[in-house]
Amino acid sequence: MDRAKRILITEPIMQAVMDKLSARFDVTVGRRGYYNKKENLLNELRDYDAVLCMLSNPLDREVIESAGRLRIIANNAVGYNNIDVDAAREAGIFVANTPDVLTDATADGTFALLLAVARRIPEAERALRRGEFDGWNPTGFLGMELRGKTLGIIGMGRIGTGVARRALAFGMKIAYHNRSRADDALEKELGAAYIDSVPELCRQSDIISLHCPLTAGTKHLINGEILTLMKKTAILINASRGPVVDEAALAAALKSGTIAGAGLDVYEHEPEVHPDLPALENCVLLPHITSATHETREAMGHLAADAIIGILGGKAPESIANLL
């Protein structure tokens, strides 16, 4: 128990995790969405020793430099493009994320999205709900068969690898691009072809799935020009970060038939969705849920909370595996 230490959990998370921190520290839980506004972080973060934050909270240099008392930022997400990690390092503030525990849930979720697009599941279900099911139709709602198709993965980290393993079970071929080539053993296990250039990977793939982090180098990696290189039958899946795709260019490509379909879990300006997308039947739009299982959201919260408990309790930073 260390009631002198103040923790901000920026919005309600899994109860067991809030209870764990509340049993040890003076915890404040923010209102959902309130700390998505930078101004609120700027005004209030200086009062806390630790923050357990969401990927929608902008912890940029100015916010970090305003928070003189802060010892650790624990992001309730694996992606941490919302945090200026260099600024935190310079200020002597630790940053933690939630790797590993969400790999399976996110890979499952990505595959659900992929199948939903390939087999037109939401579109067909919407038709039934409108009362349009008139019996088995030999030519109705035809989709893409996965066996023998090439899945192009951009970003072969833990999640990309998890998606590739699932795709193998469906008889797909794997091609990938990554900043660094995967080791031989993994390439062999997946039968994966490394393709040095993103345009070439996009040219060859039937389905392209994005699993890279958002950085200055991956912003708009998928732009209008790259979309025109893809097969007309191609499907694009994005469960990484919205700005990796130029959303306006994608909406135009889906409208004009430059590619056949898309599955998006993330958006360039969340929670906004490009206004042309919801009207298109050839895309499946999810509200950033690919890691959303009971098990994983609880494990993510515990991992973030444990990093806070470790740092504030004086544990050696080297012993906390999820510090960046």
> Where on the chain is the footprint of ligand GLV (CB under 6 A)?
55, 77-79, 99, 102, 157-160, 211, 291
Closer residue to ligand GLV, CB minimum distance, 55 or 151 = 55
DSSP conformational letter for 192: P
Least distance in angstroms from the C-beta of 55 to ligand GLV: 5
What's the min distance (Å) between Cβ of 155 and ligand GLV?
Answer: 6
- Residue nearest to ligand GLV as judged by C-beta position: 157
Q: In the complex with ligand GLV, which residue's Cβ is closer, 127 or 324?
A: 324
Cβ neighbours of residue 124 closer than 8 Å, sequence gap 6 or more: 140, 141
DSSP 3-state percent helix, strand, coil across the chain (nearest 5): 40, 20, 45
Least Cβ distance, residue 152 to ligand GLV (angstroms): 16
Nearest-approach distance from CB 111 to ligand GLV, in angstroms: 14
Pairing of strands 2-9, 50-53: parallel
Nearest to ligand GLV of 102, 254 (CB atom): 102
Complete DSSP assignment for 211-263: -PPP-TTTTTSB-HHHHHHS-TT-EEEE-S-GGGB-HHHHHHHHHHTSSSEEE
Whether the Cβ atoms of residue 117 and residue 284 lie closer than 8 Å to each other:
yes
Catalytic residues: 241, 270, 288
Tell the residue number behind the tokens 């994320």, with chain if given. Answer: 97
Q: Where are the extended beta strands (E) located within the chain?
A: 2-9, 25-29, 50-53, 72-75, 94-96, 150-154, 173-177, 193-194, 207-210, 235-238, 261-264, 283-285
For ligand GLV, the closer of residues 143 and 157 by Cβ is 157
